[in-house]
Chains A and B, each alone.
Chain A
Amino acid sequence: MIQYIIRRLLIMIPVLLGVTIVISSLVYIAPGNPARIALGQGANPEAVLALERQMGLDQPPHIRYIEWLVNAAQGDLGTSVQSGRDVSALIIERLPATLELAAVAMVITLLLALPLGVVSAVNQYSWLDNTSMLFAIFWLSMPSFWLGLMLIYLFAVYWGIFPVSGRDGVLLSLTWWSFVLLPAIATGTRRAGLLTRLMRSSMLEVLNKEYIRTARGKGIGSRKVIMTHSVKNAMIPVVTLIGLQIPLIFSGTVIIEEVFSWPGMGRLLVSAVQQRDYPVVQGTVLVYSVIVLFSNLAVDIAYSYIDPRVSYD
């Protein structure tokens, strides 16, 4: 297991290198002069030129990339063009908020999808099954931006149960939950739609296996058949999909952070792209990539505990 983890960590290096090359290329070839955008429409040309030199824009893109890479390897992600602050500091300030939102969104996804999928499969073709699938398609089709606005209108404005936007309260306190719940629901329910359907089909496949028939034939109770013998086996492909959902959860937070004024990395990235703040774009995408890679590693390790046949030794 340890060797497997080390191998996976080493593989991350070329992956991250590839990600940084792609994102840096996109950022450098994007039209628009960052110095001009930073100084605004009315800036005089001399001021724009001076800022270009300061930002290193007079150097070729590959030189700028190599310099950035060398510094990033030493933990220095550069300085924001817009604010003049260290990119690392900007990210560290906002990372906890994004992790909180993504974690709660993932929990909501799992709490919705797994039980619903199991119930649907066990009661195939019943009204429970049909209703669950209807919900699944509904959540899958719902644009998260629109869902967020509707949740605000209903629960915050009309009924006044939750705050409209923002982030407040100590982690895991009631106040904190009141702020994080609506954005997490808006982020997580879309992913839940897909997972519900997969959980259902995976359960149906397992429930039709011979060993399940054998278990029932031996007189094992229905609950034990489902929870002990079926769910765990049905989870195997579902865990794979959960790993694939993680980057989608994070990308979903970008829009939701705007709608709910949640002060996370997504808003930092959106603003940086609009302002052509190259160092912030590169640093933020790098951090997102690291999070996704580590999350997928965690999922793969979890795999080995769900399925004892899987070993990384």
Chain B
Amino acid sequence: MVNKNGKSNTNDWMNRRNMLQMGGMGTVALLAGCLGGDGNGDNGNGGNGGNGNGRDEDGKVFIEGMGANTSTLDIHGEPRVPNSIAHSSLHDTLFTVNLELEPHPHLVDDFDRDEDATQYDFYLREDVTFHDGNPLVAESVVGTYERMLDISPEAYLLGPVENIEAVDEYHVRMEYNDPFPLLTRNLTSPYAAILSMDAVEEAGDGYGQDIAVGTGPFKFERWDRDERIVFTKNEDYTWGPDFLENTGPSHLDEIHFRYIPESSTLTNELTVGNVDGTTYVPTNDADAIADHENTSLERLDFPHADYLALNVTRPPTDDVNVRRAISHAINRQAVVDAAMDGEAYPILNFVPPLSVNALDESEVEEHAHPYDPDRARELLEEAGWTNSSEGEVRTQDGEDLSIYFTAFSITQYARVGEVTQAMLSSVGFDVNLEVLEAGTLYDTLEASEHNVTTMAWSRSKFALDLLEPTLSPDNLATEGGTNYSIWDNSEFAGYLQTARSSPEESDRQQAMYDAQRLILEEVPVVPIMGYTKHYGYKNEVNLGDWFEHDWWPEQHLHHRLQVDL
């Protein structure tokens, strides 16, 4: 055979015939592979074969559906919800939250606190061991908290601690120069759990990726990246919270946290039975899951606040009457229906009524700014913004009443923005709404370019945990903080200081009430709604007394010890 250049390629071993023959043999090999056995047996691809869902047919395997990926099992790493859902099953905290929503000793047998709340003595249980066999001792606590102070974004939970020491094998002392009465409450956080320092030292920078060791009812087995994380039962676990029916060991042999990013796919996996339970229920699928013959849904109105942050430094939202008018213009129930498919509840006070130290509802009703578009228009008139007909943009000295409104690109935030934009327009605002991706949005907020932004704060179970990060003068967004109202109010700062440091519970409570009254008066934020939390699960799953705890979505409080299959 001669090519167009006159060269012979008869002797060229890579000729077409050989290539076609090789291709044909490869195809035959491919088909032979197809006719081979299926994938039963350990294949390292996320399970034990069988039905391909990772279930070990010989044991009780609970599969938790996760709509967001876990990035680390290190409790001192990134404080994201999917991380804490996973790592909270591996660890215990010194204190947990009981059914009365009070701090309750867990790894601690007993504790003392001096009158000034400047010294704490914790006496540890002596029957607790880590997954690596090491006993829980005072040095474990000291080492964990020192590491927390060094690298954890949640180090503030320990407060302005001056000294942490192991007084003896099971006795830990923490000392403060100034009163810090909130310590026991803060130590209920999953980010304040106790680690095996031997495991941390052994793993080095890789801790939380291939090794994670705690004292929890489950041990870390393996992590199939982007597929699932597998935990196995800790057979030695008997120190679960004593207000639970089962204090350990778990009824389950394994838990798999299976990552399914697409929400409709996750819903389908739940209804066909490949996922046993999930907290990642899309609001528009909630009814479908509740009504499905294979599944059930539990709902809970939860203290998780969704609100508008109003920039008090930028005209026209620097005028308190304009801010009050914004609050009066918003029909919160309509926002709940449009943005959350009804799966939320309207709130008038920034601290949701279900939060600890929330202002009494009767007082809120008296001082809040509920939906009243006529009152909104009156306030704008009083502030000098006028128009000649309803719906027309108001003006003052030739300038339009324009506001720059930013919203997260996440669906529910974008919908809140779109719905409230229309409501504000109806009372005379010219609203320039921009739906922005997170990185761009934060840059805009830090530059104080916004008038209004949608925002939510998940840590609203205690009033102080909501008010301090969102409105403290020490947390201004322009200085990298999360006070997106840029509200620098010294009176408010004083209330926060009292709530944080007064040794008397009654004084702290009163300070929180005063802070909320000030917010209702000055309106740096417009509360919109509190979220409804969901848990969708298969009918065959027995969840025991899980839902008796008012904070059951906080899975670290019960470790799924009640769950059985």
Interface residues of A (CB under 8 A from B): 1, 30-33, 36-45, 47-49, 82-85, 90, 93-94, 149, 152-153, 156-157, 160, 163-179, 258-261, 263-264, 267-268, 271, 274, 276, 305, 308-309, 311, 313
A45 neighbours in B (Cβ, 8 Å): 479-481
Find A305's partner among B7, B19, B274 (CB 8 Å cutoff): B19
Given A84-B72, A94-B225, A172 and B34 touching (CB < 8 A)? yes
Structural contact, B225 and A263, CB atoms closer than 8 A:
yes
Shortest Cβ distance from residue A147 to the other chain B in the assembled complex, whole angstroms: 13
Q: Judge whether B247 is part of the interface by a CB distance below 8 angstroms.
A: no
A-B contact pairs, 20 of them (CB 8 A): A30-B439, A31-B443, A33-B442, A43-B79, A84-B77, A84-B205, A93-B225, A164-B265, A165-B262, A165-B268, A166-B52, A167-B46, A170-B43, A172-B34, A175-B38, A263-B46, A267-B226, A268-B226, A274-B438, A311-B5
A93 neighbours in B (Cβ, 8 Å): 225-226
- Contacting A at CB under 8 A, from B3-23, are 3-5, 7, 9, 14, 16, 19-20
B3 neighbours in A (Cβ, 8 Å): 308-309, 311
Structural contact, B480 and A48, CB atoms closer than 8 A:
yes
Q: Judge whether B418 is part of the interface by a CB distance below 8 angstroms.
A: no
Give complex CA distance A156, B268 in Å.
9
**New A-B pairs, 7, CB < 8 Å, besides A263-B46, A263-B227, A309-B4:** A36-B442, A43-B79, A44-B153, A84-B208, A168-B49, A169-B43, A261-B227
- Residue in B69, B72, B480 whose Cβ sees the most chain A Cβ within 10 Å: B480
Find B80's partner among A40, A167, A169 (CB 8 Å cutoff): A40
- Residue in A49, A93, A94, A261 whose Cβ sees the most chain B Cβ within 10 Å: A261
Structural contact, A32 and B442, CB atoms closer than 8 A:
yes
Give complex CA distance A313, B261 in Å.
50
Q: Judge whether B469 is part of the interface by a CB distance below 8 angstroms.
A: yes
Looking across the interface, which residue of chain A has its beta carbon closest to that of B443? A31
Shortest Cβ distance from residue B113 to the other chain A in the assembled complex, whole angstroms: 26
Shortest Cβ distance from residue A110 to the other chain B in the assembled complex, whole angstroms: 12
Structural contact, A94 and B33, CB atoms closer than 8 A:
no
Structural contact, B38 and A174, CB atoms closer than 8 A:
yes
- Interface mask (B258-272 → A, CB under 8 Å = 1, otherwise 0): 111110110011011
Structural contact, A164 and B272, CB atoms closer than 8 A:
yes
Structural contact, B39 and A82, CB atoms closer than 8 A:
no
Give complex CA distance A157, B275 in Å.
13
B469 neighbours in A (Cβ, 8 Å): 42
Looking across the interface, which residue of chain B has its beta carbon closest to that of A165? B265
Give complex CA distance A8, B479 in Å.
52
Looking across the interface, which residue of chain A has its beta carbon closest to that of B440? A31
- Residue in B9, B54, B205, B268 whose Cβ sees the most chain A Cβ within 10 Å: B268
Give complex CA distance A305, B15 in Å.
7
B479 neighbours in A (Cβ, 8 Å): 45
- Nearest first, the 6 closest Cβ-Cβ pairs linking A and B are A32-B439, A169-B39, A175-B39, A45-B480, A172-B33, A263-B226
Shortest Cβ distance from residue A191 to the other chain B in the assembled complex, whole angstroms: 20
Give complex CA distance A280, B80 in Å.
19
Give complex CA distance A106, B98 in Å.
56
Shortest Cβ distance from residue B83 to the other chain A in the assembled complex, whole angstroms: 10
Structural contact, B261 and A173, CB atoms closer than 8 A:
no
Shortest Cβ distance from residue B468 to the other chain A in the assembled complex, whole angstroms: 10
Give complex CA distance A229, B16 in Å.
16
Given A174-B39, A175-B39, A44 and B265 touching (CB < 8 A)? no
Give complex CA distance A39, B83 in Å.
12
Give complex CA distance A190, B52 in Å.
28
Q: Judge whether B540 is part of the interface by a CB distance below 8 angstroms.
A: no
B7 neighbours in A (Cβ, 8 Å): 311, 313
Give complex CA distance A156, B274 in Å.
11
Give complex CA distance A263, B45 in Å.
10
Structural contact, A40 and B438, CB atoms closer than 8 A:
no
Give complex CA distance A151, B71 in Å.
30
Given A32-B438, A156-B272, A169 and B265 touching (CB < 8 A)? no
B37 neighbours in A (Cβ, 8 Å): 173-174
Looking across the interface, which residue of chain A has its beta carbon closest to that of B156? A44
- Residue in A153, A168, A271 whose Cβ sees the most chain B Cβ within 10 Å: A168
Find A160's partner among B45, B205, B272 (CB 8 Å cutoff): B272
Structural contact, B69 and A149, CB atoms closer than 8 A:
no
Q: Judge whether B437 is part of the interface by a CB distance below 8 angstroms.
A: yes
Find B39's partner among A31, A39, A49, A173 (CB 8 Å cutoff): A173
Structural contact, B39 and A168, CB atoms closer than 8 A:
yes
Q: Judge whether B169 is part of the interface by a CB distance below 8 angstroms.
A: no
Shortest Cβ distance from residue B416 to the other chain A in the assembled complex, whole angstroms: 17
Find B16's partner among A82, A258, A276, A308 (CB 8 Å cutoff): A308
Structural contact, B49 and A261, CB atoms closer than 8 A:
no
Give complex CA distance A172, B32 in Å.
9
- Residue in B77, B262, B264 whose Cβ sees the most chain A Cβ within 10 Å: B262
B5 neighbours in A (Cβ, 8 Å): 311, 313
Given A164-B269, A164-B274, A170-B39, A177 and B482 touching (CB < 8 A)? no
Q: Judge whether B242 is part of the interface by a CB distance below 8 angstroms.
A: no
- Residue in A153, A259, A263 whose Cβ sees the most chain B Cβ within 10 Å: A263
Structural contact, A167 and B45, CB atoms closer than 8 A:
yes
A44 neighbours in B (Cβ, 8 Å): 153, 156, 481
Q: Judge whether B384 is part of the interface by a CB distance below 8 angstroms.
A: no
Structural contact, A173 and B260, CB atoms closer than 8 A:
no
A156 neighbours in B (Cβ, 8 Å): 268, 272
Find A169's partner among B52, B225, B261 (CB 8 Å cutoff): B52
Structural contact, B49 and A166, CB atoms closer than 8 A:
no
Looking across the interface, which residue of chain A has its beta carbon closest to that of B77? A84
Given A157-B268, A164-B268, A261-B261, A169 and B443 touching (CB < 8 A)? no
Give complex CA distance A169, B209 in Å.
24
Give complex CA distance A59, B171 in Å.
46
Q: Judge whether B396 is part of the interface by a CB distance below 8 angstroms.
A: no
Q: Judge whether B224 is part of the interface by a CB distance below 8 angstroms.
A: yes
Structural contact, A40 and B79, CB atoms closer than 8 A:
yes
A82 neighbours in B (Cβ, 8 Å): 71-72, 78
B39 neighbours in A (Cβ, 8 Å): 168-170, 173-176
A313 neighbours in B (Cβ, 8 Å): 5, 7
- Interface mask (B468-481 → A, CB under 8 Å = 1, otherwise 0): 01000000000111
Looking across the interface, which residue of chain B has its beta carbon closest to that of A97? B226
B398 neighbours in A (Cβ, 8 Å): none
A169 neighbours in B (Cβ, 8 Å): 38-39, 43, 45, 49, 52
Shortest Cβ distance from residue B273 to the other chain A in the assembled complex, whole angstroms: 10
- Contacting A at CB under 8 A, from B214-251, are 224-227
A166 neighbours in B (Cβ, 8 Å): 46, 52-53, 227, 258, 260
Structural contact, B36 and A32, CB atoms closer than 8 A:
no
Q: Judge whether B459 is part of the interface by a CB distance below 8 angstroms.
A: yes
Structural contact, A43 and B43, CB atoms closer than 8 A:
no
B271 neighbours in A (Cβ, 8 Å): 157
Given A157-B271, A164-B272, A261 and B260 touching (CB < 8 A)? yes
Structural contact, B442 and A179, CB atoms closer than 8 A:
no
